[in-house]
Structure 1
């Protein structure tokens, strides 16, 4: 019985082995590798593949031995942009022989537009610790240099500035002004020298319409005789706080405001404002006269202002 069981078991084992798949041996020779590499190359060929694949950059391998790096091609020098030098007034120099501008280190020699603010034809130099008038652009029409330390006005400070219309040098330390500092300015209309130490007023151009020389040290001889006679367009004349002992005559016919307060004026003549030879004369323009703060009694000379539209301001006692 045991023998029959072993025979049956042997047949079952033979049938199972016969039904199993046959495993082929793998050939690893060089021919198989060549074929496989070609297939892989064809498989990873991206020429006709998706467009979003990045191209692999081929980098040459430096052989061992003398490792000399390849010499890069020389770079072409970049062309520098030509820059045309500009003058202070914005114009361009002409010709190849234009000199190089060397800027000095002293404040008084620096161009105004480097020290101050230049807006169109106006130069603002307020509160810049200046001790002299800086070189100004030729087209300057309005010049402000208030609250500085300027001590003297030279004849060359405003030379050749033919468009200059207003000069304001309020609150400096000016004690001296050259005689020709303002006289040659053909378009000067307004001159403000308030709050300085001026003892002698130079000759002024007849084109002025506004003068303010208040709070200086003119005294009795600081204003020349007939200094304002030819100024036909002068409208405002302010000479307060100067220790004047007289009213500077003659006064222009178109004068509208005359401020002489806080001086040392003692008397007034009958022809100071009016014409005693023509009792019908009326001076309509002069409506603002300030004589307060002077040791003068206006009630003693009533004929002196009978031609005026308004009485002067001052003491009547």
Structure 2
């Protein structure tokens, strides 16, 4: 038998795999074996849901406005997908199931479909379990919603902030002091968006903040000792330490933290006004 040529050896090495099979005369022939196609890697669960279909997502309506004659565009704050914009088709019709459901400050189970930035709401159900906000607490709730709309990017999940929002609504509904509840939420919001500095450490020296020293807070860097030329609010070191511990029982801490957070929030809003804040300021609640 002549030796195999290099071309024949190469052909044999690269040919499709074969298996032995009997022929009609009892001999053996080589039959090609079907190759198994490679499996595609499975996308993570979050990637499989984004842009296709989401069901049963905990959510709150932050804001809504009319769209065409019978529909609404709603801004939802969801636990696992952050802020999402949805079209609620037919929600303004008298007999729509969505008409009485899409209310602010009410926990919802929401479902939607779509790949674009503006998706389509397919279902929303009232979950219940929360007291309604009334009077000043209601205005405070609208203030929270306005902060979320103006400071959170779309499709950026903040599950911890979502839980804090639920807790804050419950505290307001149970008439806990608004000045304390709002300060804690403002601070949590700035932390979640990555713009809150460590209030317990001086940025210029990296030394711990001293309770008996007066500071200013650089909105981009953090606390440092005051200077005569500083235009920013003066804050006692004790106030900064109290805020870092979320301890707002001291009257001076409440007053100074209010001025400080008003300044910091305004800075990160880049001059955008807060309509609800002005109402609350007029009512001496913020």
Q: Same fold (TM over 0.5)?
A: no
Structure with the greater relative contact order (CA < 8 A, sep ≥ 6): 1 or 2?
2
* Superposition TM-score, scaled by structure 1 size: 0.21
CA radius of gyration, larger in:
1
Higher helix fraction: Structure 1 or Structure 2?
A: 2
* Superposition TM-score, scaled by structure 2 size: 0.23
